[in-house]
Structure 1
Amino acid sequence: MPATMIPPVPHYEPASVTREDLDWADLPVIDISEAKTPEGRKELAPVVRDAMRTHGFMFIVNHGLTEAENERMTDIADVPFAQVSEEEKKRFDGKIKQEGSWMGYKLREFWTIDNGVRDQIEHYNMHRHISQQHHPAALQPFLPELWAFSKHNFYNVLQPVLRLLALGLELPEDAFVNLFNFDAQGDTYLCFMKYYPRTEEDEVKTKNVWMKGHTDIDALSMLWSQPVTALQVLSPDGKWRYVKHIPNSIIVNAGDTLEMLSGGYYKAAVHRVFRPPADQRGRTRLGLYYFGYPDDDVRLVPLAESPVLRRVGVARRCADADAPTTREWRVARAKAYGLEELRRGEDGMEEQVVNGLVVRHYN
């Protein structure tokens, strides 16, 4: 039989890895292939547990895609930015402010970063089913590959990590998995994101911060590692440290939703995007992301039946009766981020109230 033909795609040439001597975060590397057996999961669970309690960040390797497959997906990820006109992009603009929906484009200069400076970040967001929305013409030939990539992220990365996190709470393996159903209502989604260089004037006004320190809305964020060094994590000692590029790895971090479901046991990771080092400036930063949310109707209350939580106690952000659903939390945060004025808390930190809960920004 003839080989399956895949459509050609323009090559995206990423920046070379920085040669600068930087302060790197010391994050664990998890071989997720070991999670295929009960014995492997038993060994990995305490490592993942400690990573999500200490840093909220870790690397995933041996996830099932080759470097060549990763590179092709990176080339496809640039299509909605480099191969679609500005006019067509506007036709697929997401209804973030109106409906709190990420689906479609988030165009540049949508958010305010600081001192009146607008962002230079462009998103193209796709529902995990891919076919549940319309796409620009240039992306149409690649929809089967996007569908396969979305399923790979969900079943081969997200689900195994959720099982390990449940074991870390001494819960049944499927305690979290049962809250994340591929075919249920919800907005777990695939995202392509491109950062463009900024002017020196904007760098001065924002003190080189491209995206303020924040926690993610979802349960787990998965970033396919790329070479432009800009992601920083707030370490336990209070210092910002860079996250190193490991080729063909996935950087996984915990978000607000996981922190709420785990009763504060797993910490939503505080992270930001900073100006790249000098040898990478002037280059774009193209990232592939997968944002994992529970089903829309899941109420974000702690899994208090966990033996671990019974021993260490539960930290709630609100009373269980007042806890938002996944959808309520996602929509409220999406409508508020970068679009509302922030206030100064008593400790000088920037914050805003979303659905009755305080959301902090670390600048």
Structure 2
Amino acid sequence: MPSLTFPHIPHYVPAPPAPEELNYAELAIIDLDQTKTPEGRAELAIKARDAMREQGFFYVINHGYTKSQVERIFDIADVPFAQVSSEEKQKYAGNIKETGSYQGYKLRQYWHIDNGVHDQLEHYNINRDVNRRQHPEALRPLLPEIKSFAKHNHLNVLHPILRLLALGLELPEDTLVKTHEYDGHSETYVRFMKYYPRSEEEEQKTQNVWLKGHTDFGSITILWSQPVAALQILSPSGKWQWVRHIENALVINAGDALEFLSGGYYKATIHRVVQPPPSQRSYTRLGAFYFAMPDDNVKLSPYENESTVLKRVGVTKRVEDPGKVPTMEQWRKGRTSAYGKTTLVKSGEGVEEEVINGVVVKHYN
């Protein structure tokens, strides 16, 4: 992918890995090379199923991008933050609360974290249809590469994972793929995101939490692993554990839409972002993501009549009335508009709630 024909942009130098001994979660590793045969997919389906049910997270390796290609993606990821002026960022800021869409910039200090402290992260979101809206001038020459990155995530990472998870539900392999068409109408998008260091006063007021424990609202989140330790998951035992950086690996987790569709068989994973360990606190944390979700018109009803697994184990419905089950469009708009803007109600030790489209959504602090 990197070539003399591609536009020159500054090289992003990531932080060195954290030397501290952290309480890392032990996550399964899914080798996508094994998906090339029916036997390999059958074996991996069990591994992916168990990982999603027990941890809700797993790693992916052999995803088709070389180390140099990934470095180029992180060079591109830094452009909307380092090469775009504050004035131009304002011009391309998303109208998030009103539209229920993250397309464009989510600027710093948009979300309330705790005790009057607002976030210190910004992200730029690009629909996989990169021409859906205009972009800052510095990004325009890079759109062909971003489009290629989105297509690779969708067809070569997301779809193989969805096939494995469908097999885990004892459904036809392409069941979930059909609800996540590459050319379908959805808000599936690439996100470049950058966290900035905070003041000691802000750290104390938020108990070092940069983003409260939450679930993603889509189906599958693909995070391209980077070295700054900050991501934590809530383990089955109720303890927060760090997610380890593995070079040229992907970190995969389930979101609300997958929980809806699987009748609770695959649970949306609770995760948060906290202050990095001391060795990395002076660095920014740059991320590259692919947030996947079903097509907007997909009704988020469980496959309770199609899945032999769900017939055996039963389903956990987040919406009991079939007539009130949201479409993906309704769910994403409700979650996106409300996130970080609504007043949360405490419902237990370290747990806060809000209600979106009649469904209780929990946040963990």
In the alignment, which residue of structure 1 is the partner of 2:328?
A: 326
Listed as ranges, the matches of 1:5-154 within 5 Å are 5-154=5-154
Q: For the residues of structure 2 that align with 1:159 and 1:128, how far apart are their CA atoms? A: 15
Structure 1 regions of 5+ residues with no counterpart?
none
In the alignment, which residue of structure 2 is the partner of 1:168?
A: 168
Q: For the residues of structure 1 that align with 2:319 and 2:7, how far apart are their CA atoms? A: 50
With 128-137 and 48-57 compared, the bigger mean Cα shift is at 128-137
Displacement of 1:249 after TM fit?
0.5
Residues 262 and 303, structure 2, Cα contact 8 Å, conserved in 1: yes
Residues 76 and 142, structure 2, Cα contact 8 Å, conserved in 1: yes
Q: For the residues of structure 1 that align with 2:351 and 2:91, how far apart are their CA atoms? A: 37
Q: For the residues of structure 2 that align with 1:263 and 1:301, how far apart are their CA atoms? A: 8
In the alignment, which residue of structure 2 is the partner of 1:342?
A: 344
Q: Which amino acid aligns with 2:269?
A: A
In the alignment, which residue of structure 2 is the partner of 1:215?
A: 215
Q: Which amino acid aligns with 1:260?
A: F
Q: For the residues of structure 2 that align with 1:227 and 1:358, how far apart are their CA atoms? A: 34
Q: For the residues of structure 2 that align with 1:9 and 1:154, how far apart are their CA atoms? A: 25
Q: Identity of counterpart residues, as a percentage?
A: 57
Residues 256-292 of structure 1, C-alpha deviations (whole Å, 9 max, x = no match): 1100100000011110001000000010000000001
Q: CA RMSD in A?
A: 0.9
Residues 169 and 308, structure 2, Cα contact 8 Å, conserved in 1: yes
SS in 2 for 1:178: helix
Displacement of 1:206 after TM fit?
0.1
Q: Which amino acid aligns with 1:70?
A: V
In the alignment, which residue of structure 1 is the partner of 2:311?
A: 310
With 235-244 and 343-352 compared, the bigger mean Cα shift is at 343-352
Displacement of 1:346 after TM fit?
5.1
The list of structure 1 runs, each at least 4 consecutive aligned residues, that deviate by more than 2 angstroms after superposition, is: none
Listed as ranges, the matches of 1:168-207 within 5 Å are 168-207=168-207
Label 1:346 to 1:114 Cα distance change in 2 as closer, same or farther (>3 A).
closer
Residues 120 and 196, structure 2, Cα contact 8 Å, conserved in 1: yes
Aligned residues: 361
Listed as ranges, the matches of 1:178-327 within 5 Å are 178-304=178-304, 305-319=306-320, 320-327=322-329
TM-score (norm 1): 0.98
Q: Which amino acid aligns with 1:169?
A: L
Q: Which amino acid aligns with 1:122?
A: E
With 316-325 and 279-288 compared, the bigger mean Cα shift is at 316-325
Label 1:152 to 1:348 Cα distance change in 2 as closer, same or farther (>3 A).
closer
TM-score (norm 2): 0.98
SS in 1 for 2:210: strand
Q: For the residues of structure 1 that align with 2:206 and 2:32, how far apart are their CA atoms? A: 38
Residues 184-209 of structure 1, C-alpha deviations (whole Å, 9 max, x = no match): 11101000000000000000000000
Residues 350 and 364, structure 2, Cα contact 8 Å, conserved in 1: no
Structure 2 regions of 5+ residues with no counterpart?
none
